[in-house]
């Protein structure tokens, strides 16, 4: 039976970053992380109602949204947060950059697992800091932290770990035990952690659940800046509404000091959409997750049958991290574009053996992408 997620929506001529990247209409854009799904009706209705008011002046954070986030943390993670701990931000990348500046000086070292979403590597550089990347290790198809390597990399001038959970790329959902070990290490070495949990509502693997690092306990909570947003889950990234949860008053002060006069407040439509998402979006998201899981299962089955390609389980996110090294391509990004599929180059994430495919779209497009990829790779095999 067709689902609402199968419905084609034309995104051309909407200034969509994703759909306008390629001048060529024959390239399926499967790169940047937004989906092609309509936002849930609750969000569209909340926005329409707000727009019909007709006045769009400076805006406070709506109390209803603060309440919704506090309740959500309690309900989903038994994490009791206070209103003061919330810092609203126009984007998570902005939060990563503020975290570097709030916790260290130019010259300090920032640690981050790798491969990773590119701003994890650029944020330290933009703050005049050094970035130390620590390769994730693959154990039984699950990418996990190499805690020994992490500990070995910690020096006196290492102040911050930029952490991504669920991990982008690859979709690892870190297990509670791993997080507890990480927390122990962080406390032992007095590190701060900026934990980017933007994909926390997109866990596809049944039986797994998100665990915020900071929610493990007040001690680790005091070392954490947690970043979250409804943007990936509800396809409202263009509305710029995210938040940091910072338990420690001094750390929060340092973070806020960095933003003063530079980082704008969240705009009122971003707040409005976030209210719609967190008040009424959960059932819609359950359906979205079922749909994404089918896309994922199909991709894993099909991609692994194509000579030269390998795809491990994607536990969370709608981003498949495909090992293309077996295909021995000179320029993988160009090769797949010429095949009619626009992917994100693994090089940008720190591993050029991979390409990232965004499957947050109609199943029909996923099937078509697989067809094109298969055809192109089979054609270039020696006869």
Ligand X SMILES: Cc1ncc(COP(=O)(O)O)c(C=O)c1O
Q: Which residues contact ligand X by CB under 6 A?
A: 33, 91-93, 117, 164, 168, 196, 198, 229, 231, 237, 242
Look at residue 244 and give its three-state secondary structure: strand
- 40/91 with CB nearer ligand X: 91
Biggest CA-to-CA distance, the chain: 66
DSSP assignment of 190-228, as one string? T-EEEEE-TTTT-B-STT-----GGGG-HHHHTTEEEEE
Give me the least distance between CB of 360 and ligand X, in Å please: 11
- 288/372 with CB nearer ligand X: 288
- 229/333 with CB nearer ligand X: 229
Paired tokens of 273: 């959409």
Give me the least distance between CB of 327 and ligand X, in Å please: 25
Those residues with Cβ within 8 angstroms of residue 116's Cβ, 6 or more apart along the chain or in another chain: 133, 162, 164, 167, 168, 169, 349, 350
Give me the least distance between CB of 119 and ligand X, in Å please: 7
| H-state helical runs in 154-281 | 176-188, 218-221, 231-234, 249-259, 268-280
d(CA 58, CA 265): 9
- 16/184 with CB nearer ligand X: 16
Give me the least distance between CB of 296 and ligand X, in Å please: 16
d(CA 162, CA 124): 9
d(CA 353, CA 20): 26
Handedness of CA 255, 259, 261, 267 (dihedral sign): negative
Contact between 187 and 223 under an 8 Å Cβ cutoff? The reply is: yes
Rounded to 5°, the CA angle 336-340-344 comes to: 45
Give me the least distance between CB of 164 and ligand X, in Å please: 5
- 93/361 with CB nearer ligand X: 93
- 322/376 with CB nearer ligand X: 322
Give me the least distance between CB of 91 and ligand X, in Å please: 3
Buried b (16+ CB within 10 A) or exposed e, 305-341: ebeebbbbbbbbbbbbbbbbbebebeebbebbbebbb
Give me the least distance between CB of 165 and ligand X, in Å please: 9
Contact between 102 and 251 under an 8 Å Cβ cutoff? The reply is: yes
Give me the least distance between CB of 238 and ligand X, in Å please: 9
- 112/158 with CB nearer ligand X: 112
Give me the least distance between CB of 94 and ligand X, in Å please: 6
HSE-CB of 230 using CA atoms within 13 angstroms: 28
- 94/365 with CB nearer ligand X: 94
- 231/288 with CB nearer ligand X: 231
**Cis peptide leading into 115, omega within 30 of 0?**
yes
- Give the residue at shortest CB distance from ligand X: 91
Look at residue 294 and give its three-state secondary structure: helix
Beta bridge mates, 321: 356
Paired tokens of 377: 């790779």
- 229/357 with CB nearer ligand X: 229
Give me the least distance between CB of 328 and ligand X, in Å please: 29
Q: Pick from 195, 277, 173: which is nearest to 244 by CA?
A: 195
């Amino acid at each position: 039976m067709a689902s609402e997620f199968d419905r084609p929506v034309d995104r051309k001529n909407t200034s969509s970053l994703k759909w306008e990247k390629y001048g060529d209409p024959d390239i399926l854009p499967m790169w940047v992380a937004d989906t092609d799904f309509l936002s849930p009706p609750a969000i569209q209705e909340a926005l329409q109602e707000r727009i019909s008011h007709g006045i769009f002046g400076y805006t406070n954070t709506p109390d209803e949204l603060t309440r919704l986030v506090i309740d959500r943390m309690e309900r989903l993670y038994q994490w009791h947060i206070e209103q003061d701990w919330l810092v609203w931000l126009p984007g998570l990348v902005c939060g990563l950059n503020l975290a570097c500046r709030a916790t260290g000086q130019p010259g300090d070292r920032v640690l981050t697992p790798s491969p990773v979403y590119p701003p994890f590597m650029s944020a330290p550089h933009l703050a005049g800091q050094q970035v130390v990347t620590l390769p994730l290790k693959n154990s039984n198809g699950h990418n996990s932290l190499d805690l020994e390597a992490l500990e070995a990399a910690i020096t006196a001038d290492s102040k911050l770990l930029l952490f991504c959970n669920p991990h982008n790329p690859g979709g690892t959902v870190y297990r509670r035990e791993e997080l507890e070990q990480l927390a122990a290490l962080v406390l032992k070495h007095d590190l701060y952690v900026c934990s980017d949990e933007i994909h926390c509502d997109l866990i596809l693997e049944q039986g797994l659940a998100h665990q915020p690092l900071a929610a493990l306990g007040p001690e680790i909570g005091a070392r954490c800046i947690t970043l979250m947003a409804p943007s990936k889950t509800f396809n409202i990234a263009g509305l710029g509404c995210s938040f940091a949860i910072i338990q420690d008053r001094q750390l929060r002060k340092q973070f806020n000091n960095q933003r003063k006069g530079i980082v704008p407040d969240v705009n009122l439509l971003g707040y409005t959409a976030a209210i719609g998402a967190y008040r009424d979006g959960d059932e819609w998201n359950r359906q979205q997750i079922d749909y994404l899981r089918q896309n994922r299962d199909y991709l894993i089955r099909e991609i692994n049958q194509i000579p030269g390609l390998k795809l491990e389980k994607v536990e969370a996110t709608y981003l498949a991290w495909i090992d293309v090294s077996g295909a021995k391509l000179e320029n993988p990004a160009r090769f797949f574009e010429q095949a009619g599929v626009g992917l994100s180059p693994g090089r940008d994430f720190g591993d050029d053996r991979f390409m990232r495919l965004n499957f947050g779209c109609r199943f029909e497009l996923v099937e078509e992408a697989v067809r094109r990829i298969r055809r192109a790779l089979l054609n270039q095999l020696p006869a």
